[in-house]
C-alpha cells in the first residue's frame, strides 16, 4: 500500500472533503428543487439537517476512545458517506429524499471534527503546521463551488449528484492510503477517557466553548443575510460573489502565514485578536455600504474565522488534557461551529426584516464576553 507524508495526507483529506462540501453546502438545495421539492420542504429538510450535524458530532466523535482509532473511523465514515449519496440514484419522493438528506448530514458532518482531531494530534506529535495544511480545504471549497456554478448552467441538476459521487469516491480512495506517521495514543492503556458530560463541566472547557461560540456564532447574520442585504442596496450577484470569494482568499492567506506571524502566540492571544476582528468587522458592515469598507470587512474574515479556528486547534492540541482532547473537539464542532450558529441564524432571521444592517451590531456585541474570558494566560 502506498504511503503519504502525514502533512500531505491531511492536506489531501481536507482538499477532497471540502471539494465535496463545496458541492453539497451551496448546491444541494438546487438538486432537491430539481427533484420536485418545494421551497418550504427544502427549508425544513436543510434546517433539520443543520441540527442533526450537531447531534452527530456529539454522538459519533466522542466514541473514538483512542487517537489510533481516528484513521479507521475516518475511512469508515468516508465509505458510508459515499454509500449514502449513492442511494440518491434510486430515491424519489419527498419522504425518501428528506430521510436520505438527513442521513447524509448525520454521516458526513463528523468528518470535519475528526479531521481536526487528527490535525490536533499531529500538531503535538510531529509539530504539524495546521494553517498550511488546512488552507487547502478552503482553496478546494472555492474551486469546487466555482466549477459547479458553470456545470449546473451547462447541464441539468443531476450534475450536482454525479459530481458529489465522484468527489466522495476520490475521498474514499485517498483515505485508504497510509500516512507515514500514525497517530499515537497518549493515555495509558486501559485508561478510560473522561465522559463527555464531565468534560463539559470543567471551568476551562466552559470558557473555551463560550469563547469559540461567541466568535464563530457571530458569523450567523453574515452567512445568512449579508448577500440579501447587499443585493437590496444595489450590489449585483456577481459583485456579491466576488466579495465572498475575497473573504475566503483572505482566510487562505492568513492560514498560509499564521505559523510565521503568530507562531509564538498563545491560543488566548489569538482569541483576543479574533474578538477585535468581530467587534470591528460587524460594526463596519452595520455602519456603511461603501464598497471599499465592505472589502476591508471581508478581508477581516482572516481574523474573525481563520485566527479563531487556528486558536481552537492550538488550544486543543497544546493546552487541553489528552484525556478529553477528542471530546473537546466534538464539543467545539457541535456547539461552537454548529448549534450556536444555528440558533443565532434563527434569531437573525427573526430580527433582520425590521433591523436590516443593524443586525450586525448585535453580532459585534459577541466580542464582549471574549474580551473578558480570554484575558487570562490560560483559557
What is the model's pLDDT at position 379? 62
Q: Give the pTM.
A: 0.78
Collapsed DSSP state (helix, strand, coil) of residue 169 = helix
Residue range(s) in the chain whose domain bears CATH number 1.20.1250.20:
3-179, 196-373
Q: Which backbone phi and psi does 136 adopt, to 5 degrees?
A: -65, -25
196-373: CATH class = mainly alpha
Answer yes or no: are the C-beta atoms of 14 and 116 closer than 8 Å: no
Lowest mean pLDDT among 13-22, 301-310, 324-333: 324-333
140 pLDDT more than 60: yes
Residue written as grid cell 472555492: 142
What is the model's pLDDT at position 378? 57
3-179: CATH class = mainly alpha
What is the model's pLDDT at position 89? 95
Q: What is the pLDDT of residues 256-304, one digit of tens each?
A: 888 888 888 999 999 999 999 999 999 999 999 999 999 999 999 999 9
Q: Give the relative orientation of helices 39-60 and 340-355 as an angle to the nearest 10 degrees.
A: 150
Q: What is the pLDDT of residues 84-124, one digit of tens each?
A: 999 999 999 999 999 999 999 999 989 988 998 898 889 88
224 pLDDT more than 50: yes
Take residue 76 and report the three cell numbers written for it: 469508515
Using CA atoms, how far residue 150 sits from 26, 146, 305, in Å, is: 13, 7, 28
Quote the mean pLDDT of the chain.
Answer: 87
Rounded Cα–Cα distance for residues 271 and 309 (Å):
9
Rounded Cα–Cα distance for residues 276 and 231 (Å):
27
- The percentage of the chain sitting over the pLDDT mark of 70, rounded to a whole number, equals 96
Amino acid at each position: 500500500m502506498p504511503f503519504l507524508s502525514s502533512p500531505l495526507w491531511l492536506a489531501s483529506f481536507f482538499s477532497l472533503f471540502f471539494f465535496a462540501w463545496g458541492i453539497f453546502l451551496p448546491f444541494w438545495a438546487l438538486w432537491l428543487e430539481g427533484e420536485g421539492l418545494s421551497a418550504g420542504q427544502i427549508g425544513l429538510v436543510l434546517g433539520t439537517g443543520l441540527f442533526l450535524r450537531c447531534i452527530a458530532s456529539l454522538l459519533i466523535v466522542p466514541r473514538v476512545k483512542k487517537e489510533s482509532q481516528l484513521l479507521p473511523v475516518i475511512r469508515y465514515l468516508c465509505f458510508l458517506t459515499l454509500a449514502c449519496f449513492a442511494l440518491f440514484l434510486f430515491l424519489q419522493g419527498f419522504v425518501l429524499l428528506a430521510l436520505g438528506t438527513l442521513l447524509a448530514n448525520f454521516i458526513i458532518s463528523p468528518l470535519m471534527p475528526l479531521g481536526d482531531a487528527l490535525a490536533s494530534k499531529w500538531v503535538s506529535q510531529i509539530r504539524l503546521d495546521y494553517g498550511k495544511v488546512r488552507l487547502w480545504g478552503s482553496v478546494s471549497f472555492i474551486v469546487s463551488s466555482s466549477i459547479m456554478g458553470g456545470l449546473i448552467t451547462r447541464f441539468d441538476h443531476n450534475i450536482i449528484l454525479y459530481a458529489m459521487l465522484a468527489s466522495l469516491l476520490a475521498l474514499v480512495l485517498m483515505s485508504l492510503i497510509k500516512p507515514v506517521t500514525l497517530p499515537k495514543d497518549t493515555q495509558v492503556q486501559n485508561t478510560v477517557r473522561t465522559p463527555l458530560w464531565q468534560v463539559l463541566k470543567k471551568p476551562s472547557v466552559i470558557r473555551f466553548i463560550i469563547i469559540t461560540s461567541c466568535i464563530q456564532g457571530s458569523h450567523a447574520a453574515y452567512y445568512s443575510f449579508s448577500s440579501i442585504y447587499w443585493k437590496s442596496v444595489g450590489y449585483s450577484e456577481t459583485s456579491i460573489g466576488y466579495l465572498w470569494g475575497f473573504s475566503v482568499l483572505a482566510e487562505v492567506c492568513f492560514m498560509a502565514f499564521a505559523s510565521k506571524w503568530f507562531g509564538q502566540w498563545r491560543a488566548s492571544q489569538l482569541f483576543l485578536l479574533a474578538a477585535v476582528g468581530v467587534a470591528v468587522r460587524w460594526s463596519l458592515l452595520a455602519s456603511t455600504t461603501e464598497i471599499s469598507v465592505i472589502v476591508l470587512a471581508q478581508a477581516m474574515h482572516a481574523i474573525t474565522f481563520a485566527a479563531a479556528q487556528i486558536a481552537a486547534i492550538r488550544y486543543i492540541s497544546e493546552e487541553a488534557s489528552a484525556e478529553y482532547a477528542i471530546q473537546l473537539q466534538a464539543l467545539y464542532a457541535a456547539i461552537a461551529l454548529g448549534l450556536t450558529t444555528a440558533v443565532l441564524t434563527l434569531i437573525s432571521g427573526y430580527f433582520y426584516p425590521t433591523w436590516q444592517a443593524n443586525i450586525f451590531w448585535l453580532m459585534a456585541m459577541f466580542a464582549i464576553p471574549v474580551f473578558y474570558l480570554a484575558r487570562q494566560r490560560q483559557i
